[in-house]
Amino acid sequence: MSLEVKQLTKVYKHQKALDRISFEAKSGQVLGFLGPNGAGKSTTMKIASGYLFPDEGDVWINGVSVVEHPKQVSKMIGYLPEHNPLYLDMYVKEFLHFIASLYRLKGSSAQNQISTIIEKCGLGAEQHKKIGQLSKGYRQRVGLAKALVHDPEVIILDEPTTGLDPNQLLEIRKLIREIGRDKTLVLSTHIMQEVEAICEKVVIIHQGEIVAQDLLQNLKAGRGFTSVFLETEEQLRREWFELLKGIKEIHQIRENELEFLIYEASDIRKELLTVVQDRNLSLLGIRLQERNLESIFHQLTQS
Amino acid sequence: MGRLFLKEINAFFNHLTGYLLLAAFLVTLGLVVWVFPETSVLEYGFADLEALFVYAPLIFVFLVPAMTMRMIAEEKKSGTWELLMTSPLTNSQVVLAKYFAAVALIVLALLPALIYYYSVVQLGDPVGNIDSAGFFGSFIGLVMIGAVFAAIGIFSSALTENQITAFVIGVFLGFLLYFGFSAFSMLQRNDAALFLEEISLSYHYQSMGRGVIDSSNLIYFLSVIGSLLVLTGIMIKRK
């Protein structure tokens, strides 16, 4: 079970949406596909699901090419498109039956599968309601149920949590984590906490190119900058600190507060304190902060 | 594919619009056949339903695109098109399911015309004095016209995300094929005009109204439908 993107290129009229991107997602490993809006996340997912045609490259699902056998691949993929399109006139159960029939599930096996999915997605109480009457959180569950109904091995979720309230967010994330345990799961998002909460592997894409791909822990460790914040009662000047070793950048946050971007191994707090003492300043605070995924994301995707 | 067909039929009757369309069609036909003095069978004095067959295509030009305009355009707009296109259904299955749903609805709308036939049979003097071959020829012709308009409607619905645009294109193409070509052919008398007349819908429809179902007419209808559906298939190809 795997999803392999190879040298994928897609050109819209005047713009290269994807430029030879390659990455791989493996079974039991939730892959977070990150990028600012318009970076090419949805385009990639639309190609992987067989909805769009790439200009170059291919996506391989369990070794089967999406370009050549889109229909064969479609049976192995569960896809939740961006904005979660649903037939609002249909009842939840009716909709799932409709989808099941598109995937050639019939009779009692379809019945069983649908009941299992309804329970798994927590739709038991809503199954006889019209989709149009459901709240956004429940619609999202219906969308997930749709993606799971034919028991696919590879699951592609395009921004599955946009527009949910904090409680719904937690529930959907929990559900996604559960699903991801024994499937290959790729999800796109621009919410960093989500990636930190769900994903093992991260691919960051920016302007159609991959700018980083690694396991989440490696990514956080590898881009090892740490911030130190220093606050005093008096005004602070950058020049006082420029001679210290191990500093990459200094940002003046306020008149009396500086942020020092330092290389990971060098804790400069002691040296900073010496400067503060030498200049006879009254210290208000000094604090070390590890960089999170969010700052890595900013660093990689600001052009 | 069967399920998608049923979904389309359901979707039609899920909204008031569906019933409204059918009601408008039936009321208009009823008025033309029984009430309006210019066309009414009762005033005319002959046991035939020519009025029905002259006016029905005119109504179809508007009715059928109204039935079909949402079939692809709406799904594209709401995004559910992506669900269909990424399912194991092939493009041709999707197009055919939608097309046959449209044809089924048109046949449904035409069924009450059989009651008119029965009424006129009973009104004849002596009872049953009606050109049945002519009626059924025209009836099948009308179903064929509806089927062609349905193909036009599906095609125009595939061209755009906007239902109104799909409707306007559908009406225009239907009008052109039914009235336009035969009217153009009257501008001049030469080979081109003859050709135009022969590719117009009305020409083949009228020829079926004589009560003879000629294979050339059927082949004409089927090939127009076939080409439109193939074009639709091309329009919805993966991009």
Selected residues 194-253 of chain A with any CB under 8 Å from a CB in chain B: none
Verify whether the Cβ–Cβ distance A98 to B87 is below 8 Å.
no
Q: Phi-psi region for residue A151, left (φ > 0), alpha (ψ -120 to 50) or beta?
A: left
Are the beta carbons of B88 and A146 separated by less than 8 Å? no
Closest to B182 measured CA to CA, from B198, B170, B167: B198
Q: Would you say residue A303 has pLDDT above 80?
A: no
Q: If you measure CA to CA, which chain A residue comes closest to B78?
A: A85
Each residue of A156-190: pLDDT tens digit? 999 998 878 888 888 888 889 888 888 999 999 88
Q: Are residues A146 and A49 part of one domain?
A: yes
b/e burial code for range B97-115 (CB count within 10 A of at least 16 → b)? bbbbbbbbbbeebbeebee
- How many domains are contained in chain A? 2
Examine the pLDDT at A302 and tell me if it is beyond 90: no
A198/A293 same-domain check:
no
Cβ neighbours around B182 below 10 Å, total: 19
Using the predicted structure, report yes or no on whether residue A263 has a pLDDT greater than 80.
no
Both A29 and A138 in one domain: the answer is: yes
Q: How confident is the model over A67-75, as a mean pLDDT?
A: 94
Write the burial class of residue B34 (CB in 10 Å: 0-12 exposed, 13-18 middle, 19+ buried). middle
Q: Which amino acid is at A235?
A: Q
Residue count (chain A): 303
Distance CA A47, CA A33 (A): 14
Q: Other CB atoms closer than 10 Å to residue A267's CB: what's the count?
A: 13
Contact yes or no for B80 and A87 at CB 8 A:
yes
β-pairing, A154-158 vs A184-189, is parallel
* Whether the predicted pLDDT of A290 surpasses 80: no
What is the ipTM metric for this complex? 0.89
Query: Is the domain of A168 the same as that of A92?
Result: yes
Whether A217 and A230 map to the same domain: the answer is no
Contact B4 A102 (CB under 8 A): yes
Q: Evaluate whether B205 touches B57 at the Cβ level (below 8 Å).
A: yes
Provide the residue type at B87 as one letter. Answer: S
d(CA A36, CA A204): 9
A104 and B88: CB-CB below 8 Å?
Answer: yes
- Partners of residue A144 in chain B, C-beta under 8 Å: none
Of the residues A173, A190, A221, which one is the last residue of a structural domain? A221
Q: What average pLDDT does the segment A281-291 reach?
A: 85
Within 8 A of B2 by CB-CB distance, chain A residues are 101
Instruction: Count Cβ–Cβ pairs < 8 Å, chain A vs chain B.
Output: 60
Model pLDDT, residue A223: 58
Question: A220 vs B163, which has greater pLDDT?
Answer: B163
Task: In whole angstroms, give the CA distance from residue B217 to residue B198.
Answer: 10
Same domain, A260 and A133: no
Burial bucket for residue A11 (CB in 10 Å: 0-12, 13-18, 19+) = middle
CB atoms within 10 A of CB A248: 11
Q: What is the mean pLDDT of residues A22-43?
A: 91
The Cα B216–Cα B3 span in angstroms is 34
Please tell me which residue of chain B has the smallest CA distance to A80.
B83
Which chain A residues in 84-123 lie under 8 Å from chain B, judged by CB atoms? 85-89, 97-99, 101-104
Angstrom distances, CA of residue A43 to CA of A11, A21, B90, B222: 10, 12, 21, 39
Co-location of A273 and A171 in the same domain:
no
| pLDDT higher than 70, residue A225 | no
Closest partner residue to B78 (CB to CB) among A49, A77, A85 is A85
Q: Across the interface, do A81 and B14 touch by the CB < 8 Å criterion?
A: no
Find the CATH number of the domain harbouring A164.
Answer: 3.40.50.300
Residues 6+ apart with CB under 8 A from B121: B47, B127, B128, B130
Contact assignment for A102 to B80 by CB distance below 8 Å? no
Q: Is A83 found in the same domain as A189?
A: yes
How does pLDDT run across B67-113, given as a tens digit for each residue? 999 999 999 999 999 999 999 999 999 999 999 999 999 999 999 88
Q: Quick check: B88 and A85 CB within 8 A?
A: no
Element (H, E) at A110: helix A107-120
CA distance B26 to chain A (A): 26
Q: Do residue B11 and residue A146 have CB atoms under 8 angstroms apart?
A: no
Nearest to B82 by CA among A131, A184, A66, A74: A74
A 138-177 residues inside an 8 A Cβ radius of B: 146
Which of B15, B79, B88 lies nearest to residue A102, judging by beta carbons?
A: B88
State the burial class of residue B45 (Cβ atoms within 10 Å of its Cβ: 0-12, 13-18, 19+): exposed
CB contact under 8 A, A104 and B80: no
Q: Indicate which of A12, A51, A150 best probes the interface with B, i.e. most B CBs within 10 Å of its own CB.
A: A51
The per-residue pLDDT of chain A, averaged, comes to 89
Of A221, A251, A284, the last residue of a domain is A221
CA B72 to chain A, closest CA, distance in angstroms equals: 13
Instruction: With a cut of 80, say whether residue A46 has pLDDT above it.
Output: yes
The CATH number linked to A273 is: 3.30.70.100
Greatest CA separation found in chain B? 64
Domain interval for residue A268: 224-301
Do A171 and A260 belong together in one domain?
no
Do A74 and B87 make contact, defined as CB atoms within 8 angstroms? Answer: yes
Within 8 A of B88 by CB-CB distance, chain A residues are 71, 74-75, 102-104
Tell me which chain B residues have a C-beta less than 8 angstroms from the C-beta of A102: 3-4, 84, 87-89
Domain co-membership, A190 together with A275: no
Last residue of a domain, which of A189, A221, A253? A221
Chain A contact set for B239 (CB, 8 A): 52-53
Q: A132 and chain B: CB distance < 8 Å anywhere?
A: no
Give the one of A50, A88, A89 whose C-beta lies nearest to B86's C-beta: A50
The reply to whether residue A74 touches residue B86, judged by beta carbons under 8 angstroms, is: yes
- By C-alpha distance, which of A202, A136, A147 is closest to A171? A136
- A108-161 pLDDT per residue, tens: 999 999 999 999 888 999 999 999 999 988 999 999 999 999 999 999 999 998
Same domain, A206 and A256: no
- Does the pLDDT at position B187 exceed 80? yes
HSE-up (13 A, CA, CB side) for residue B162:
4
Greater confidence (B84 vs A249) lies with B84
Give the distance between the most distant pair of CA atoms in chain A: 82
**pTM, two decimal places:** 0.87
Q: Is a pLDDT exceeding 90 seen at residue A61?
A: yes
Do A123 and A33 have their domain in common?
A: yes
Give the per-residue pLDDT at A78.
95
Show which residues on chain B lie within 8 Å of chain A, measured between beta carbons: 2-4, 7, 11, 14-15, 78-90, 238-239
CA angle, A170 then A172 then A177, to 5°: 95
Give B141: exposed, middle or buried? Use CB within 10 Å, 0-12, 13-18, 19+. Answer: buried
Q: 3-state DSSP: chain B helix, strand, coil percent, rounded to 5?
A: 80, 0, 20
What does residue A249 show for φ and ψ, rounded to 5 degrees? -145, 155
d(CA A229, CA A272) in angstroms, rounded, equals 10
